[in-house]
Amino acid sequence: MVLQGGGARGAYHVGVIKAIAEITARRRSPFQIVCGASVGAINAASVAVASNDFQTGARHLEALWRSLRSSSVYDTRTLPLLLTSLRWAMTPAFRFLGFPITGGLLDYTPLHRLLRREFNKDHLQHSIRSGALHAFCITASSYTEGVSVTYFEGRQEIRDWHRSRRRGERAAIGPEHMLASAALPFAFAPVHLDTGYFGDGSLRLNSPLSPAIHTGADRILVITTRDSSPPPAAADLAAPPPSVGDIAGHALDILFNDNLEADYERLARINRTISLLGPDAQEKTPLRPIEAVLLTPSEDMRPIAQSYAGKLPRPIRILTRSFGAVNSDGRIESYLMFEPDYIGALIDLGYGDTMQRAGEIVEFFDGS
């Protein structure tokens, strides 16, 4: 299973996982390899540690997400946000005086506390030792080296790998790795790990399916958080230019979705090419066919976020408006709003979408 990023949109993953638990009705997880980046790393960790009891793990993950507030993920208090905003506004002056400005707009201390409480290292190791889990991978982007690093734990036969601007290395994964993978640029401060400072795993992850393939997957279930509807054919040329908030929303959309969808299409092309080769040529090529199923939302999450935008804590609403998101399309809110009504709507959407494809899901797992 591959889970990509999306901030609060990660609630959609939870609905999909809930439905898969119901469809498969297996005690052990049907996923022997679990990979994620950004919020997908956090959800992947929850699935990985519960590999021996997938049903309980799915219920716990849903209960956890439904209990979230924005204040569970970042500091929503007025004074800290005001001080941070002032600090950022005065960045040129501070730099001129020789004082670098570090950190992000939002303080992720609540998320770090949540990850330390929820992540059970012993359960992860038991999942691997028992054979229920072959590999668990999370990806973070190194600001220090300018590369994408996939940290993994799993069976001993899995080896480190190196490719252009990306590598995979065995590590003792902990809450700090997950925090680094989920550290949105500008919103959250970089996280220091052993080899430098890291940020959101989606930043340099040009091949999101690669970690699953490198660790041995021959079939992959991919969960994205953007609907598959095409963009509008024509733009409103009379509309005002996009604000900073609008541009930030588009940047997040690209960051979390474009590479995953492109990699999925690339895998489909490789599979078609392999199918055209004769038996002898197939034996000689290092490539192997990999079945993949892509689960995408049936609805655009932006209108859903718009309908609940008033639920965002007031200081966060003021902050987003300061970046020009007064009349936004809900894009920014869809990533930042960890509020029960919105989270619940996305979980229900993920659950409903997956149940609609129950037959396809059963066929996918029956082939494993």
Range in 99-108, 182-191, 258-267, 291-300 the model is least confident about: 99-108
Rounded to whole angstroms, how far apart are CA atoms 229 and 144?
37
Tell me which of 261 and 339 has the higher pLDDT.
339
Give the total number of structural domains in the chain. Answer: 1
Q: Which domain holds residue 284?
A: 2-227+243-366
Helix (H/G/I), strand (E/B), else coil: 334: helix
Residue 131 pLDDT > 50, yes or no?
Answer: yes
38 counts as catalytic: yes
Average pLDDT of the residues of the chain: 89
Domain-located, residue 326? yes
Higher-confidence residue of 283 and 166: namely 166
State the burial class of residue 271 (Cβ atoms within 10 Å of its Cβ: 0-12, 13-18, 19+).
Answer: middle
Question: pLDDT tens-digit profile of 69-105?
Answer: 999 999 998 877 776 666 655 555 445 444 454 567 8
Whether residue 270 lies inside any domain: the answer is yes
The average pLDDT across 335-355 equals: 97
200 is known as an active-site residue: yes
* Terminal Cα distance for the chain, rounded: 13
Q: Report pLDDT for 238.
A: 62
Q: What is the largest CA-CA distance in the chain?
A: 68
Radius of gyration of the chain from its Cα atoms, rounded to whole angstroms: 21
Q: Which of 107, 200, 263, 353 is catalytic?
A: 200
Q: Which helix (H) or strand (E) holds 44?
A: helix 39-49
Strands (E), the chain: 2-3, 33-37, 135-142, 147-154, 161-163, 166-170, 191-193, 196-199, 219-223, 291-295
Specify the pLDDT at position 94.
47
Alpha helices in 50-190 (DSSP H): 54-66, 78-89, 91-96, 109-118, 121-129, 175-181
Residue 312 included in any domain: yes
With respect to residue 259, please indicate whether it lies within any of the assigned structural domains: yes
User: Does residue 358 lie in a domain region?
Assistant: yes
Split at pLDDT 50, 70, 90, the class of 311 is very high
The CATH number that applies at residue 43 is 3.40.1090
Per the DSSP assignment, residues forming a β-bridge with 223 are: 3, 295
Q: State the Cα–Cα distance between residues 151 and 177, nearest whole angstrom.
A: 8
- The C-alpha atoms of residue 73 and residue 88 are separated, in whole angstroms, by 21
Q: Does 109 have pLDDT greater than 60?
A: yes
Q: What are phi and psi of 77, to 5 degrees?
A: -70, 150
Among candidates 200, 225, 222, which has minimal Cα distance to 211? 222
- Among 34-38, 126-130, 306-310, 323-327, the minimum mean pLDDT is found in 323-327
Q: What is the dihedral of CA 300, 306, 311, 316, to 10 degrees?
A: 100
Q: Cα(70)–Cα(316) distance, rounded to whole angstroms? A: 9
pLDDT per residue over 145-171, tens digit each?
Answer: 999 999 999 999 999 999 999 999 999
| Residue 237: inside a domain | no
Residue 102 domain flag: yes
| Dihedral in degrees, nearest 10, Cα atoms 132, 135, 136, 138 | -170
233 assigned to some structural domain: no
> For the chain, what percent of residues have pLDDT higher than 90?
68
Average pLDDT over residues 262-270: 93
Q: Which tens digits make up the pLDDT trace of 188-235? A: 999 999 999 999 999 989 899 999 999 999 999 999 998 876 565 555
Question: Quick check: 161 and 180 in contact, CB under 8 A?
Answer: no
Tell me the one-letter amino acid at 113: R
pLDDT at 343 over 50: yes
Which one is catalytic: 38, 51, 127, 181? 38
For range 23-33, the mean pLDDT: 96
